Structure 1
Amino acid sequence: MGVLTDYFRAPDDEAVIRLLDRTRGHSPIVGRKPSFDGVEAKGVDPGVVLGSLVATIRGVPWDVQQVKVSQVWPPASEQEPDPSEDDPFQDGPWAFALDDPTRDTLAGVAPADVTALVVTFVERTEELRGGGADEWRPVVEDLIGLARTARDADQHLYCWACL
């Protein structure tokens, strides 16, 4: 079972909550009229894969806390305290806010540095073994571009995910 992840930019948590409440949690970047600007990035979870990318950019060892996230949707009060087969949120969808330092780290990558960054990122990320730098370069470029646009618009980055 794979994790579907989309990254998007939005002005604030409230805008994300309103949209996901209205759409019953559908991804805000897919469909005929996407609600927010974003990037489809299947399997790029914030903690491991995106965290490895951010650690690579920062030149530090990977740590699961490299990217700080907070759940925005569904609100914690709507979740079952003891998940069961009937739990509507067991497989998602969920939306998480990413910390602004992560956005700024991604946004700060110079275009001339992307090729070397992707090679190093793929080599040091165990979860990407079997995939080459050519496969990951467009995803990394899209994430960097999204982060740059979000930073320049004084917006935040979010991750939408489901199983």
Structure 2
Amino acid sequence: MYDYYRAADRQAAMVDPDSGRAAPGTVFDAVDAKGIDPRVILGHLIALIRDVPYDLDLIETISLYPPPEGGPQSLEEWEALPEDSPYKEGPCIEELPTDVRDTLAGVPDGRLADLVERWEQEFFAPPDGGYLTTLIAELRDLAQRAQAEDQTIYCWIC
């Protein structure tokens, strides 16, 4: 599960890291993107919007939670972690680059149908086109609100 949300800074983004960001009653302005991960599937959308070839390095996220500095440094340390460790089970919080926010914010309504048609080809089993249209519009609107408030987009992963 991937929830995209906006926050003023990293500290605000990591409040209550165990809770979903798009859940009812949450304090975050968020979009429930279901299985749309930031680096691959969202990366394909960003490539389509920018009209560039997709590359795995197109979206370089920054891992915030669990804190990378406390993570296992070897296979032995990894194996010694308890099974419920957030390093093994999540949740995770990733910060997206500002250029991704700005790319999403700039999608005009007139491009939605074309983007959906091209993006759904990237899925093994494409979701309904109506869902993708709504999702792109919701991500765009979230990015526009973040841009207007000079905020960053984050992804909560569980």
* Counterpart in the other structure of 1:161: 157
Pairwise CA distance, 1:31? 3.3
Write out aligned runs for 1:1-163 (5 A). 4-17=1-14, 19=15, 23-32=16-25, 34-81=26-73, 82-84=77-79, 86-87=82-83, 88-89=85-86, 90-123=88-121, 125=122, 127-162=123-158
Gap runs ≥5 in structure 2: none
Pairwise CA distance, 1:152? 1.1
TM-score normalized with structure 2 length: 0.88
* Pair 24,69 (structure 1): closer, same or farther in 2 beyond 3 Å: closer
Q: Which residue type is aligned with residue 78 of structure 2?
A: P
Gap runs ≥5 in structure 1: none
1:74 and 1:37 map into 2 onto residues whose CA distance is 21
1:7 and 1:36 map into 2 onto residues whose CA distance is 10
CA contact (8 A) 2:6 2:13 kept: no
The structure 1 segments of at least 4 consecutive aligned residues displaced by more than 3 Å after TM superposition are none
1:135 and 1:69 map into 2 onto residues whose CA distance is 25
Aligned-residue CA RMSD (Å): 1.6
Identity of aligned residues (%): 32
TM-score normalized with structure 1 length: 0.86
Aligned residues: 152
